[in-house]
Amino acid sequence: MTKYYDDPNSSSTWMVGIISALVLLVSILLLQILYYGVLQDEMASKQNNFTETRALRDSQVQQIEGSVRWIDEESGVVGMPIEMAMERVVASQHEDESER
């Protein structure tokens, strides 16, 4: 007993193929539009965050670079810019050497 199979209808095969290709193309385009929209929002968010971070950093630098300030007055710990501290250490070294 031999079974005979009919060939599939070529017009319906073409129709399914064309519709599938169109659905795939539209899906890709919509996903690409969604991606670029989210990317633009992310870049804007990062730019705003950068501006806020820069302002915070600038205010902290101004506070640090000011002058000598107390960190812990009870234990006698002061804070000063590193350049000023280095100059004081060098000056105290020269004073110690000149006393000898």
Per-residue pLDDT at 34? 98
Assigned token pair, 15: 């129709």
Taking only the tens of pLDDT, the chain with its 100 residues reads 567 777 778 888 999 999 999 999 999 999 999 999 999 999 988 888 888 888 888 888 877 777 788 888 899 898 888 888 899 899 999 887 787 6
The helix, strand and coil proportions of the chain, stated in percent and rounded to the nearest 5, come to 75, 5, 20
Task: Output Rg (C-alpha) for the chain, integer angstroms.
Answer: 37
The Cα–Cα gap between 32 and 11 comes to 32
Per-residue pLDDT at 28? 98
Per-residue pLDDT at 46? 86
Q: Where are the domains of the chain?
A: 1-64, 69-100
Q: How many alpha carbons fall within 13 Å on the CB side of residue 25?
A: 6
Per-residue pLDDT at 79? 85
E-assigned strand segments in the chain: 69-72, 77-79
